[in-house]
Structure 1
Amino acid sequence: MSPDDRVYAYSAVLLGSPILLKLFDHNQTLAARVFRLIKQQEILLTVNRPHSEVMSINHAAGESPVVVSQPVFELIARARAASVLPGSLFNFTIGPLVKRWKIGFQGNSVPPLAEIQALLALTNPHHVILNDRDRSVFLQKSGMEIDLGAIAKGYIADLVRDFLRQEGVEDALINLGGNVQTLGGAADSESGSWGIGLKKPFAGPDELIGVINVRGKSVVTSGVYERYFELAGKRYHHILDPRSGYPLDNELLSVTVISADSIEGDIYTTLLYGMGVEKGLAYLAARPEIEAIFVTRDGQVISSSARQFTFTLLDEDFHQA
């Protein structure tokens, strides 16, 4: 590796995750600007701060519309559109149920059925009313909440990519903890592509099923192993089915989406999780710009296609179907 190929890594903790930025120029000032951009977006979009625009909407649920900034309105519109698709597992109004389960946040019990059913009544995305004229958002029922967490990381990863491009950066990687967005390739690798690990479910943090190689693409993975608890021999994970209010139960351990935009990765990992392998593959056949890797409970690694990436299997417990 020549001195020109040296990679410089910068890190911070934002969005509740370790954030990693890789550049091929030593530029602490640029890295600081990237992290500042992420922090600004976190303040704008989070539900973990009492005074964000999103929390203003939630506080006014059942009472009055709230006018928000154009970027927040557009992101809410995007999340709503994905949420109202027929049979969609993506639901940005599912917050009340997520809070009740508390999976990944000391939650270790199954809520009573009556509570789940009562909360389900507060998770209908059709009850989010958007007014394009004044950029207002109204939650029709008191107790409703919207949460952009399922889409915010992808949105921010794409903003960082666009910002780096504006700054003249040709090759870089930003990892927002599950959302990886890349510019160009990796000069420090033999293939010239970025190698992104596909995690082995329910294993150590450094154990991989394989490596996905991409250039200028986003890689987003969602898995049932990320947050869960076990009770009476049954595992309850954080991916809730908005139709039932319970964790989704199908053949999948993880879904990875390879696409140009990371926000698409956020949306499609969730949509495809709900579809399962067979329907997911059929759905993607008409969408060549989106590719996916499905990992199943019986150890299969299934790719919808491989035009935008290459995959190298590393773990003998799994096999490519």
Structure 2
Amino acid sequence: MEKSNVETLYEWIDETTNKIQQYVNEPYLESLGYTMEIVFMQEVPDNIDESLAIKLQQALVELKIDSFSAEEVRKANQLAILKGMKGSTQQQHLMTPETVSLMIAYLANKLFDDAENIRLFDPAGGTGNLITAVLSQLPQIKEAFASEVDSTLIQLAVWNANLQKKNIEFFHQDSLRPFLLDPVDLIVADLPVGYYPDDLRASDFKLKADKGHSYAHHLFIEQSLNYTKPGGYLILVIPEFLFDSDQSDKLQQFIHDYAHMVGILRLPESAFKSDKHRKSILILQKKGQQTASPKQPLLVKMPSFNNTRAMGDILGQINNWFQTYKKELNSNE
């Protein structure tokens, strides 16, 4: 069978990363960052071992990166990142599944299909796969921003965006600290789950815990709303237990006060390794002068992404729901 462009490019990236890893004695993900940099710069840095530099120069000659589309580059990079993450024990070194990223892009398209000059922000940017997936599907996005505290992940995200020719401004910082950023039209994020260790910073949030550490995923929702324009939208990957855990009463009241619950999509069990890792997609609209809650929120239990017929039925129902929702929005204006 003839290899796809994605497979061809992934194999080149993987082989080159393995060559680098043998010399620099660093984890695969760090070595992958060097590979992406070399591909983007189209030259081997001067400070690299001479015998490795010769091998990398030969490999570069074989690769014609401009013959690959941005989407092929994104998918090949994603496969390499996933390989690196398999060997990682760090919780934050996990990637939003491809099917989930594409579902978020689809929902964003439904919300903004008739809008122009959209500004987008991902406050939990990771390796940039989610934000670049959304950018691929929404050409009307004119400005994009992402934040990530982990130095390895943000380095991969920057090279990932550069190789796809996606214009994204990155913030290398704790995303629960203030940003030099005006509020945006759309926020997408795969929320980090767990406790936030900085109790002093957490004390500035309405969703801080009454005792002990606060939940990072709660604070991320509040922070995201802070950087959303009135009437803007948030599409968030949330843990399935979000509204059933302790402190959830406080969270639900906060959302009720500052946002409209537009919808929740329960993702299929098959998309996750175990029940405790199961996620849903939460859609919120920040309250504004002419906003209102939908008469009937979008509540969906997604079938397996591999079940083509069931997915077709569900997407048909979602399309119908959005048509009704858009009519409601127009009547409110």
Q: TM-score, normalised by structure 1?
A: 0.26
Of structures 1 and 2, the one with the larger relative CO (CA 8 A, separation 6+) is 1
- Relative to its length, the structure with more helix (as a share) is 2
- Relative to its length, the structure with more strand (as a share) is 1
Q: TM-score, normalised by structure 2?
A: 0.25
Larger Rg: 2
